[in-house]
Amino acid sequence: MKFLISGFEPFGGDAVNPTGALMEALAHEVIEGAVLKTVLLPVNFDECADMLIAEMQVFQPDIVIACGLAKGRTAITPERIAINVKDIPPGSYADNQGQRPVDEPIAAGSPDGLFSTLPIRAMVNDMTAAGIPATVSNTAGTYICNNTMYRILDYIRLQQLPVRAGFVHFPASTEMAVQAPSVPSLPLPVMLDALRSIIRTVMSETETNKQMNKQMNK
């Protein structure tokens, strides 16, 4: 099963982004049954999704898992839904090109929201069973992460691709918390364990669904 997994470069004044470090670590991982390809995305509206879609066109994945930083969250949070808006409220940081969209649609004429097609509940259950803090999130925000998730799901919808996709937010890393001790954080090895768990859960759930479909079509 082919997995395309993305992380982001640093943004918002931080020197690091744990999802970038996760992509570096995952590039050396071997998970039985999975072919892994990682990509590091810029924190720029639309350019991020354009790059990920271009990688999809070349790699032809079965699964796309986009990963991003949600500084301030205390758990790993698979996102349930992406909404068709890009909006930076007053006082929030711009993207890395200085863009500050307000109330703009991501894709005019496309649905107001698109749901993840990853098995998010099973992912959370398996991470929790492994002692990793995780919960389903019902908002991916209106920044780059939501922008990326929405564009990928809309591309899959429009092209009618047999690809499952979604987004997972990760907390700050312990390295980041050294500079800001009040920020909730998790060690990078724990986040890497979570990503391994997510990949295995997605493979297991996808294979189960395939077997069920075969039985129903007999």
- 67 classed as catalytic: no
Q: 133 pLDDT exceeds 80?
A: yes
Ranges 50-64, 97-111, 204-218: which has the least confidence: 204-218
Instruction: Give residue 115's Cα distance to chain centre.
Output: 13
Give the per-residue pLDDT at 177.
Answer: 82
pLDDT of residue 217 exceeding 80: no
Q: Is the pLDDT assigned to residue 216 strictly greater than 80?
A: no
Q: Is 48 a catalytic residue?
A: no
Could you give the C-alpha distances from 121 to 3, 77, 125, 202, in angstroms and in order? Answer: 19, 10, 6, 11
The span from the CA of 110 to the CA of 212, in Å, is 31
pLDDT (0 to 100) of residue 114: 98
User: For 55-67, what is the mean pLDDT?
Assistant: 98
Exposure of 185 in the CB half-sphere (CA atoms within 13 A) = 18
Active-site entry in 48, 55, 67, 145 = 145
- At 49, the pLDDT band (50, 70, 90 cuts) reads very high
pLDDT on residue 218: 60
Q: Are 170 and 18 in contact (CB under 8 A)?
A: yes
pLDDT digits (tens, 9 = 90+) for 177-204: 887 788 888 999 999 999 999 999 999 9
Q: Is 33 left (phi over 0), alpha (psi -120 to 50) or beta?
A: left
Name the least confident of 7-11, 107-111, 122-126, 211-215.
211-215
Is residue 145 among the annotated active site residues?
yes
Q: Specify the pLDDT at position 138.
A: 97
**Active-site residue, selected from the candidate residues 79, 175, 205, 207:** 79
Higher pLDDT, 31 or 181: 31
9-to-14, 40, 125, 172 alpha-carbon distances in Å: 10, 7, 29, 13
Find the mean pLDDT for residues 137-155.
Answer: 96
In percent, the amount of the chain with pLDDT more than 90 equals 80
The single residue of 28, 104, 169, 207 carrying the catalytic annotation is: 169
